[in-house]
Amino acid sequence: MTMSITHLGTGSRGNATLLETKGAKVLIDQGFSGAQLEKRLKRLGIAPTEIDCIFISHHHGDHGGGARIAQKRWGLQILANKRTAEELGLDPELTSYFDALDLVKVGDDLAILPVPVPHSGADNVAFVASHGGERAAIITDLGSWTDELVTHVHGCEHIAIEANYDYNRLMNGPYPYSLKDRISGRGGHLSNDQTGEFLANVCTAATRSISLTHLSEKNNQPHLAESTVLYHIDEVFSGDITISLQDGPDYTHYIGEKSTEKHSEQSESLEA
């Protein structure tokens, strides 16, 4: 039994992550146009109509802007909290609502737990997916974290989390002070250092892989994100760390049986 986690693309121009088990295919967020989503899924040999449902973390366009398109074009079911659904103008007949910490089951072998995270102007949630006794966390768009989030992410086998900006690049860059202040505030985004500090609190011997996501194209670089995070987690993490960028999909993580072998096979196939 395995669950695969594939980032179709992460960043300010769109986000979507595919979770796939034997019994379910689920998207976390849909921030792409219909054509882009179709194109990215096609690289994995999947049609949009094969998706069972889409969970939306919050209403900002790069995470939920394509949700209504998915409803209109393919009749896909969207799951979101009430504020997110209202802000996106979703079709009520194709929308199901969850509250924070409601465990939502999809099929016979997948469960999704939405966990609140602080993000200005949105009722944002992270998601913790459970399959076969193992867990994967998808966390993005937060300027800080809560004890509750640490509790639910602690010991996850896979953790995908934003490392949005390098602090010095942001502060010395061209953005106006008001934007810099918003990005670096409690309701903004995580810096590389903050991401490393969070991971140092939640990684255990069970944590086998980490994906750093949602890197700013202006205020970060992959090598800065990776080296900064590794500095903080060097003593608590010895697994696989990867960077997910805007143009994907580029690799797949697996949790469950034969995870290492399957990850290697998928990486080769996507590079071909």
174-201 pLDDT, tens digit each: 999 999 999 999 999 999 999 999 999 9
Nearest CA to 48 among 78, 74, 77, 79? 74
Q: What is the pLDDT of residues 91-121, one digit of tens each?
A: 999 999 999 999 999 999 999 999 999 998 8
pTM score, two decimals? 0.93
Average pLDDT over residues 59-84: 98
Contact 78, 104 (CB under 8 A): no
Q: In the numeric block, which tokens belong to residue 54?
A: 């889409």
When the pLDDT of each residue in the chain is averaged and rounded to a whole number, the result is: 93
Residue whose pair of structure tokens reads 């669950």 in the numeric block: 3
211 pLDDT above the threshold of 80: yes
Task: Tell me if 27 sits within 8 A of 17, measured CB to CB.
Answer: yes
The domain in which residue 21 lies consists of 2-271
Q: Is the peptide bond before 92 cis (omega within 30 degrees of 0)?
A: no
Residue 198 near residue 228, CB atoms below 8 Å: no
The 10 Å Cβ neighbour count of residue 17 is 28
Residue in 120, 123, 122, 102 with CA at minimum distance from that of residue 111:
102
In this prediction, residue 1 carries a pLDDT of: 75
Q: For the domain that residue 78 is a member of, what is the CATH number?
A: 3.60.15.10
Q: Point out which residues pair with 16 in neighbouring strands.
A: 9
Query: What phi and psi values does residue 261 have, to the nearest 5 degrees?
Result: -60, -45
- Region 61-87 average pLDDT: 98
User: How many domains is the chain partitioned into structurally?
Assistant: 1
